[in-house]
Copies of this chain bind each other. A is one copy, B any other.
Amino acid sequence: MTYKTSVKIRLHLNDKVALGPGKADLLEAIKQHGSISAAGRAMNMSYKRAWDLVNIMNESFAKPIVLTVKGGSHGGGAEVTELGKQVLAQYRQAQLQAEKAIEHEMLSLSHQLTD
C-alpha cells in the first residue's frame, strides 16, 4: 500500500481565495518564468485563468503581489513583488508547520489502513 497525507491551506477574503495551493504554485512559476503567460503554460493553465488568479491576489492584498511590465506581443514580463515573495514564503512556512503538526496523528491513522 502507498499512502500519503495532503494538507491544503487557503486564506479566504470575503468570498474569494486570496491565497491557496494553486495561487502559491502560480507565484513560484511567475518567479521562475518571469511572465504570467509562461507561468500559466508551465502549469497547464489558460492565460485567462492565470491572469484571473493574479488579479484576485493583487486585489486581495493591500499592495500588489505581481507587477507586470508592458511590451511584446503577449503582455511582456511579470515579477513577483517583495510583498509577494514574503506572502509566498509565509504560506509555505504555514504549510510546513501544518504538515509537521499532524505528522504523528496521520502516521497513527495510516496504521489503520488496509495492507
Tell me the smallest distance from the CB of A34 to a CB of chain B, in Å. Answer: 23
> Which label, helix, strand, loop or mixed, suits the secondary structure of the A interface?
mixed
- Whether B97 lies near A109 (C-beta < 8 A) is no
- Whether B5 lies near A11 (C-beta < 8 A) is yes
- Whether B109 lies near A87 (C-beta < 8 A) is yes
* A19 closest partner in B (C-beta): B109
In angstroms, Cα B61 to Cα A98, docked, is: 24
In angstroms, Cα B1 to Cα A14, docked, is: 7
- Whether B94 lies near A106 (C-beta < 8 A) is yes
Chain A residues proximal to chain B, CB less than 8 Å: 1-14, 18-19, 59-63, 83, 86-87, 90-91, 93-94, 97-98, 100-102, 105-106, 108-110, 112-115
